[in-house]
Amino acid sequence: MPRPTRLRKDLSAGWRRLHRLWRLSLNEKVKQSHRLLKQVIKTRDRPVVCWSGGKDSTVVLHLSLQHDPRIPVIYVDSGVEFAQTKRFVKELRDAWCLELRTARPSAGADFWSIGAKYGWPLFGKSVAANVERARRSGNRRTQLSSLEEALFDGGLYVSGMCSEYIQLRPSMRAEQALHADAKVIGIRAQESRARVRLWVDHGDYYFVKRYFGRNRGIWKANPIATWTDKDVWDYHRLYKIPHCMLYDMGHKRNGCWACAMGIRNGQLGRLRASHPRLFRRLLLRTPMGNEIMRARALLRGERVKHAYHSSEISDLLRNVPEAFDVL
């Protein structure tokens, strides 16, 4: 989310406050979360919970149901969800009797079509967005990082637009259909600097004025914004909440299987270990696999070809199985 000048606050003071909140006990954090949810349920007419099936949003769902067992729940099936996630969502829907609405991308706006049109999700949202913006404008911006400069100069076709089309827009349509005036989400400040800035600027309960268009806003409530990863897992154990088995297979999150935003921290290595068929499909049978191959060559200082034959990638995988684990 952009940080308008008038909303920019002192990040150093925000960091200090955040560190104090991180050190609170889980019991105190749970109490704070319940106070926020009580406020949302009391003051808003049609709140909804946005649930991905991940460990964080499952905690938020569990907390929310204690205030309203019939609160509408939105799950976005992006079309490239892990089978384990979809199975977990179905099982918990039945076990917890959820008022679940599944949202999907529009026709022609699937992951592969959006990637082919705008670029592929590589190297993180901010990196992909900056390179895609520079490529679209033709402006090699001076504030690009060294990695972004290399990707731009090398002509890499990267973008973060897929999340807009396969996640955000489907969720928004479902929220509109439910006439939602508030959405409860499960993101944590600990996850990234961008989310720290979001929390410092807006806190854990704020209004987005033009969310659905001009003067059509929505409230966003984030009851676990100041929780740590340990808090989340401790809550799972304390209340015996089930979790998607992807976490037991080595994954840190349960997002789209085809995503490579975390390619620098072993995301493809985890996919190779847990889902070798999906890994080989991505590398050998999709245009995104060709772009990953180009990225690898670029970062290794090798000549970057426009296109690689599947046999070249197959030979590399056979001789160096871990070739794409971390770029």
The dihedral sign for the CA sequence 240, 269, 125, 228: positive
pLDDT at res. 89: 98
Lowest mean pLDDT among 131-135, 286-290, 316-320: 131-135
Which residues make Cβ contacts (< 8 Å) with residue 293, sequence separation at least 6?
A: 283, 308, 312, 313, 316
For the chain, give every domain's residue range: 1-120+159-251, 122-158, 262-327
pLDDT digits (tens, 9 = 90+) for 8-32: 567 788 888 899 999 999 999 999 9
The residue among 37 and 137 whose pLDDT is bigger is 37
- State the pLDDT confidence band at 3, using cuts at 50, 70 and 90: very low
What is the overall mean pLDDT for the chain? 94
The residue among 213 and 204 whose pLDDT is bigger is 204
pLDDT digits (tens, 9 = 90+) for 118-129: 999 999 999 999
The residue among 1 and 178 whose pLDDT is bigger is 178
Alpha carbon distance 119, 113 (integer Å): 10
Tokens 């679209």 correspond to: 136
Q: Is the pLDDT of residue 7 over 50?
A: no
The vertex-287 CA angle with 281 and 289, nearest 5°, equals 55
The residue among 213 and 282 whose pLDDT is bigger is 282
Question: Average of pLDDT values for 115-119?
Answer: 96
pLDDT digits (tens, 9 = 90+) for 242-262: 999 999 999 999 999 999 999
- State the pLDDT confidence band at 2, using cuts at 50, 70 and 90: very low
Q: Which residues share a beta bridge with 155?
A: none
Percent of the chain with pLDDT over 90: 86
Question: Average of pLDDT values for 116-143?
Answer: 91
Q: Is the pLDDT of residue 5 over 60?
A: no
Per-residue b or e along 274-289, where b marks 16 or more CB atoms closer than 10 Å to that residue's CB: bbeebbbebbeebebb
Q: Is the pLDDT of residue 4 over 60?
A: no
Per-residue b or e along 214-224, where b marks 16 or more CB atoms closer than 10 Å to that residue's CB: eeeebbbbbbb
Which residues make Cβ contacts (< 8 Å) with residue 237, sequence separation at least 6?
A: none
The vertex-281 CA angle with 274 and 272, nearest 5°, equals 25
- State the pLDDT confidence band at 182, using cuts at 50, 70 and 90: very high
pLDDT at res. 58: 98
The burial of 40, by beta-carbon neighbours within 10 Å (0-12 exposed, 13-18 middle, 19 or more buried), is given as buried
Which residues make Cβ contacts (< 8 Å) with residue 158, sequence separation at least 6?
A: 119, 120, 121, 122, 123, 127, 128, 131, 132, 151, 291, 295
Lowest mean pLDDT among 166-170, 190-194, 288-292: 190-194
Task: Name the amino acid, one letter, at 116.
Answer: A
N-to-C CA span, the chain: 27
Percent of the chain with pLDDT over 70: 97
pLDDT digits (tens, 9 = 90+) for 49-100: 999 999 999 999 999 999 999 999 999 999 999 999 999 999 999 999 999 9
A 10 A CB-CB count for 75 gives 27
The CATH superfamily of 1-120+159-251 is HUPs (3.40.50.620)
